[in-house]
Chain A
Amino acid sequence: MKEKLDENFIKSLVNIALGIVRGKSDPYELVNGAIEYLISNKEKYMDHPNIKAIAVLKMKGLFIDNIRKNEKFSPMTDDEGKTIDVEDKKEDILEKIGLSDECKKVLSTIKKMGDKCQEILMLASEGMSMQEMQEVTGVKSVGTVLSRLSNCRKELKGLMGS
């Protein structure tokens, strides 16, 4: 039951990372960090039966670390004392990836939803099993995963339709 490790594996992590990042954060950076972690711990993970879940959990950890790091620094100011919004200078991730209008709409709608929905929808879109999603999300049971997924899909439909 082992995942094949190739470009598609990394691309599926990119898709899942889209459900983790916020604002204009770069999902590729998260994926890169997670893959570097796996590579540097090859002996530990090369035969792991659920390496994708390991990578996703690492991406979540890296994202939280980034937020904490950013909170430690005061915002930059210009000569007149006005705050410089560094984030605004980053390229919008939807533009960077180059998605079609339809997929942009889907992704931007998902990004408007709550954190839990963003996460579960992107995990599900990658065909993760309920058990894998339970492991990654940390919820108590597969039933909770199913229930959350069901509710989030109904919400997505409602938002897409409105």
Chain B
Amino acid sequence: MIDEIKIMQYADGTLPIEEREEVQKAIEADPKLKELYNTFKETGDLLFKLSNEVKSKPLPQNLQKKAEILKTWNRPVIKDKDKSFNFFRLFKFQYAGVAAAFCLFFVGGFYTNTFMASLDDGSTGTVKLSKKIEVEPKKLKMRSIQKDDEDLQTRISNLYRYFDEEAFIAEMNNRIDEIAINEEFETTLTDNLGKPVKFILIKNSEINDYLCKTVEFNELVRLSGIDKGTKISLDLCKQNEGYELTSINILKN
């Protein structure tokens, strides 16, 4: 049964994967559920904005000093947990401050969506990841990432859940040669709020004798509960007649 709690959880991105399809279909079929879904999306967005804005303000000096004291407590970093709001939604967080860079997926040859992860349960081989992976993020082990960096693994998994790579490649093949360096361009891809996703063409380059283009999401992406905003760029290289996605570069904050 689809009750309003499930609609709220779906809107927040906290509904278990196995229940999402049923709820999505119910929302699409029933205008009242659609309205309810929009209510939860909008209020989630408002509260998210409020929280972020409050956090963007500097603390009074006495609290800053106390933050310094708390920092000395040396507690382990938080791991992901069930959140009440949709922390996987895209393009919701303006963020500054990026340190280490990780280039995760470039594998010399050309892109395949089967190269990037293996199951953590000891099984061999690789897992095919598409935008709808059915494996829990915590069970995935990503290439090039230290095992203890579980949040980065979660972020990558969630990126694959929400990024419609096939649509993106198809669209890029039609127009990327006409886009100038530093030009911002919209795609037909939309985020969870229905806003068109924008990219910027960063550079043209040659990788392994292939003509490649690097495009970047024009906003930071929040991909996990503790992700403060991830910068993502994509490398597309021309093979035969078309461009393929050859790497996804994410910057770890």
Contacts and interface: CB of A to CB of B under 8 A. Distances in A.
Interface of A: 1-12, 14-15, 18, 28, 31-32, 35-36, 38-39, 42, 46-47, 97-100, 102-103, 106-107, 121-130, 133, 143, 146-147, 149-150, 153-154, 156-157, 160
Contacts of B78: 1-4
A127 B55 contact: no
B84 interface: yes
Given A28-B60, A32-B66, A98-B57, A129 B81 contact: yes
B40 A153 contact: yes
Nearest to A28: B60
Contact of A149 (B62, B70, B84, B225): B84
Given A3-B75, A28-B60, A10 B51 contact: no
B99 interface: no
A11 B230 CA distance: 21
B54 to A, nearest CB: 4
A32 B54 contact: no
A150 B43 CA distance: 10
Given A36-B66, A156-B43, A47 B84 contact: no
B243 interface: no
B208 to A, nearest CB: 40
A5 B84 contact: no
A127 B225 contact: yes
Given A2-B75, A42-B73, A31 B63 contact: yes
A99 B53 CA distance: 7
Nearest to A46: B73
B4 to A, nearest CB: 5
Contact of B54 (A1, A39, A97, A149): A97
A153 B39 contact: yes
A96 to B, nearest CB: 10
23 contacts: A4-B226, A5-B71, A5-B75, A6-B67, A6-B70, A9-B67, A12-B51, A14-B59, A15-B51, A31-B63, A32-B63, A39-B66, A46-B73, A98-B57, A103-B49, A103-B53, A123-B84, A127-B225, A128-B83, A129-B82, A129-B83, A153-B39, A160-B46
Interface residues of B, number: 44
Given A46-B75, A146-B5, 19 more contacts: A4-B78, A11-B57, A11-B59, A14-B54, A14-B63, A15-B51, A15-B54, A32-B62, A38-B70, A39-B66, A106-B47, A121-B47, A124-B85, A129-B81, A129-B82, A130-B82, A149-B8, A154-B43, A157-B43
A15 B93 CA distance: 17
Contacts of A5: 67, 70-71, 73, 75
Contacts of B47: 106, 121-122, 124-125
Nearest to B36: A154
B64 interface: yes
Contacts of A157: 39, 42-43
Contacts of A146: 5, 8-9
Contact of A6 (B9, B50, B71): B71
Given A32-B62, A32-B63, A127-B85, A2 B49 contact: no
Interface string B211-253: 0000000000000011000000000000000000000000000
A125 B48 CA distance: 6
A13 to B, nearest CB: 9
Given A10-B67, A31-B63, A32-B66, A1 B81 contact: yes
B39 A7 contact: no
B50 A7 contact: no
Listed residue (A36, A106, A125, A147) with the most chain B CB atoms within 10 angstroms of its CB:
A125
B69 interface: yes
Given A2-B78, A153-B39, A10 B59 contact: yes
